[in-house]
């Protein structure tokens, strides 16, 4: 017998990006998240939250929880430091009442990298990726974070590319 909609449990779906995007089983992710949630909020709250991993397609994971617990699940996702011994980070960035809108958000976030190269900024060569939305991502370790790097269209024309 099916329950009427007013009698069903209300769920919330969370979209999160898992870095690095290593192929792994959803069960491994679930075990890590449940351990972190239990250590933060206790086993009783974990049993009320009903956390589930709906699907994982690298680098995105879709998680389900009961309505009202989405903020605590987001906190638990943010506290994950390693999965299967691999240093990992989970970044939750979208919460919705339907899984359909979460899947639409995944399709919006897919960005194709057109080309990679090196750019000369302040007499240093930095690796960059230029994607289909004309966004330039600097991909160099050890960049001085105090140095403002605001790149405008005029600056893009002046950059020296070494591909």
Confidence of residue 156 (pLDDT cuts 50, 70, 90): low
Q: What is the mean pLDDT of residues 79-96?
A: 91
Contacts of residue 111, defined as CB under 8 A and 6 or more positions apart, other chains included, come to 131, 132, 133, 135
Token pair recorded at residue 69: 């617990």
Phi–psi pair at 12, nearest 5 degrees:
-125, 145
> What is the rounded distance in angstroms from the CA atom of residue 52 to the CA atom of residue 128?
37
Could you give all domains of the chain from N- to C-terminal order, each with its CATH number? 9-109 (3.30.70.3250), 113-158 (no CATH)
Contact (Cβ atoms closer than 8 angstroms) between residue 74 and residue 14? yes
Residue 116 has pLDDT above 90, yes or no: no
Element (H, E) at 128: strand 124-131
Q: What is the mean pLDDT of residues 61-80?
A: 94
> What is the rounded distance in angstroms from the CA atom of residue 29 to the CA atom of residue 19?
12
Which stretch of 31-40, 72-81, 90-99, 117-126 has the lowest confidence by average pLDDT?
Answer: 117-126
Residue 136 has pLDDT above 50, yes or no: yes
pLDDT digits (tens, 9 = 90+) for 10-52: 999 999 999 888 888 899 999 999 999 999 999 999 999 999 9
Q: What is the mean pLDDT of residues 99-125?
A: 76
Contact (Cβ atoms closer than 8 angstroms) between residue 51 and residue 62? no
User: Nearest Cα to 149, choosing from 122, 113, 116, 112?
Assistant: 122
Residue 62 has pLDDT above 70, yes or no: yes
Instruction: Report DSSP letters for 58-127, one per residue.
Output: TTEEEEEEETT-HHHHHHHHHT--EETTEE-EEEEEEEESSHHHHHHHHHHH---EEEEEEEEETTEEEE
Confidence of residue 106 (pLDDT cuts 50, 70, 90): confident
Confidence of residue 117 (pLDDT cuts 50, 70, 90): confident
Phi–psi pair at 97, nearest 5 degrees:
-90, -10
> What is the rounded distance in angstroms from the CA atom of residue 23 to the CA atom of residue 136?
27
């Amino acid at each position: 017998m099916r329950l009427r909609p007013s009698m069903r449990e209300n769920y919330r779906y969370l979209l999160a990006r898992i870095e690095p995007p290593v192929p792994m089983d959803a069960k491994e992710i679930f075990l890590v998240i449940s351990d972190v949630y239990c250590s933060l909020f206790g086993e009783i709250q974990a049993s009320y939250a009903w956390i589930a991993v709906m699907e994982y397609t690298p680098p995105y994971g879709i998680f389900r929880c009961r309505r009202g617990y989405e903020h605590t699940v987001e906190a638990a996702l943010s506290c994950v430091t390693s999965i299967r011994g691999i240093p990992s980070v989970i970044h939750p960035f979208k919460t919705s009442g339907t899984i359909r809108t979460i899947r639409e958000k995944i399709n919006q976030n897919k960005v194709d990298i057109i080309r990679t190269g090196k750019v000369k900024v302040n007499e240093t060569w930095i690796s960059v990726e230029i994607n289909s939305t004309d966004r330039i991502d600097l991909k160099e370790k050890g960049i001085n974070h105090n140095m403002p790097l605001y790149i405008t269209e005029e600056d893009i024309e002046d950059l020296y590319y070494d591909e």
